[in-house]
Structure 1
């Protein structure tokens, strides 16, 4: 039977494989990690295990990460949502990410892809799907369930991503924020100009965890740092009760534009 998965954005495979694809395995269950290692090693010499990790922190600090080609990432790591790892793995570390999950929520899968993952494999699917997903993603393809591909391409009735304008996409990015991410945004605004450690203390979390949350928030909202986030939050009502910066003409009511953005940035400094 033909594989029901859809691959897109194909790239021409190399005519010769000089070395195996190095895969870093991330799962917080020891037995699952053992099974994944056996599976990947069974595909030698095409694939090789670069290492294993049980938490987001271990993934990001793994000594072999720089030599890794693909990270096989479970979404349920014990220290944090693995979604927090994806933008840093893709953007900072330059590796490709295949998500392995038991979660059936298509919204969660979509979020992983929007953050940079290039493959989603369910744990209920055959083991050979995992191997094929790793190899295809390494070649530059996208490995997704057909229904998720439809969702991403906007062919699901009522979603209409094809015809969504900038305002619609912005609204969708805001709606994708979790309750914790909204708390982080509110704390950044309330503690404007404060060091990350101060904001982290106010939230009752470590500075490292705060950075992970901010990385995801920046990626979702398309902002580049705390100052941009501060302005975005005021413009879109993400910080209820925040003081409204004054311009030369007095307090501003409503969205910020032009010189009003400068006033907001000055207030955040």
Structure 2
């Protein structure tokens, strides 16, 4: 494959072999507007490849056993847009997929030109969804945002500083480590560590490191952002 042009839209395809073959040729027909950076039969394999070879758009065959819960747990690079290809008629499921991060949904019954248009529009920052679905999706996203805004625990967590979050990750990743060891890993003094912990306990309503470990695990604060 020739070197990718800087202004082309870089597409990575995840689909079974036969479908992947057809999608690869479709993308190639639209060169130089589009460039295929790679293909994979599984999403797990794709994520490993994408770490080495970034793309702009990830085209995923959702009919390959990928559910909405899986989409919610995906950790894709911020610049990578997700477009789903599907034959599903479950509109509620597809709505949830968009709420969980998909930027576009294309039906397998749509003409090939529609897929290329979807890839282009999603790359430009737009959503590619049925007009009838847009209202429902925006209402659901607004409802979720309102629920999050009113969640007292989220408000507490939002009050943490970046350094306090780093401290929580260090504590949660090795709860049994002495304070001296934790402080060394954070490149701070034990006194500073105690000050951080005191502030964290106050903001989260906790009493000790055991409480902090349980809280961090429960609210997924035990991993670096």
Give the TM interval when normalised to the shorter protein.
0.5 to 0.7
Higher relative contact order (CA 8 A, sep 6+): 1
In the superposition, relative to structure 1, how do residues 23 and 262 fare at CA in structure 2: closer, same or farther (>3 Å)?
Answer: farther
Residue in 1 aligned with 2:61?
A: 74
Q: How does 1:142-221 map to 2 (within 5 A)?
A: 142-154=127-139, 166-167=146-147
Deviation at 1:77, TM superposition (A): 3.1
- 8 Å contact kept, 1:90–1:97: no
- 8 Å contact kept, 1:23–1:69: yes
Could you tell me how far apart the structure 2 residues matched to 1:75 and 1:170 are?
Answer: 33
Q: Can you list the C-alpha shifts for 1:134-193, whole angstroms capped at 9, x where unaligned?
A: 011111111111121121133xxxx7x76778349989xxxxxxxxxxxxxxxxxxxxx8
Q: How does 1:1-269 map to 2 (within 5 A)?
A: 18-27=6-15, 29-62=16-49, 66-78=53-65, 81=67, 84=70, 87-91=74-78, 94-154=79-139, 166-167=146-147, 259=205, 265-266=211-212, 268=214
- 8 Å contact kept, 1:56–1:82: no
Report the aligned-residue RMSD: 3.4
| 2:102 match: secondary structure | coil
Structure 1's consecutive aligned runs of 4 or more residues displaced over 6 angstroms after TM superposition are 168-171
Instruction: Count residues in correspondence.
Output: 161
* TM-score normalised by structure 1 residue count: 0.50
Could you tell me how far apart the structure 2 residues matched to 1:103 and 1:111 are?
Answer: 13
In the superposition, relative to structure 1, how do residues 39 and 65 fare at CA in structure 2: closer, same or farther (>3 Å)?
Answer: farther
Could you tell me how far apart the structure 1 residues matched to 2:67 and 2:118 are?
Answer: 22
In the superposition, relative to structure 1, how do residues 170 and 52 fare at CA in structure 2: closer, same or farther (>3 Å)?
Answer: farther
Q: Can you list the C-alpha shifts for 1:57-76, whole angstroms capped at 9, x where unaligned?
A: 11111157643111001223
Listed as ranges, the gaps of 5+ residues in structure 2 are 152-171, 175-202, 216-225
In the superposition, relative to structure 1, how do residues 163 and 140 fare at CA in structure 2: closer, same or farther (>3 Å)?
Answer: closer
Could you tell me how far apart the structure 2 residues matched to 1:26 and 1:142 are?
Answer: 20
Of 82-91 and 162-171, deviating more is 162-171
Q: Which has the higher Rg, Structure 1 or Structure 2?
A: 2
Which structure is higher in helix share?
Answer: 2
Could you tell me how far apart the structure 2 residues matched to 1:54 and 1:126 are?
Answer: 23
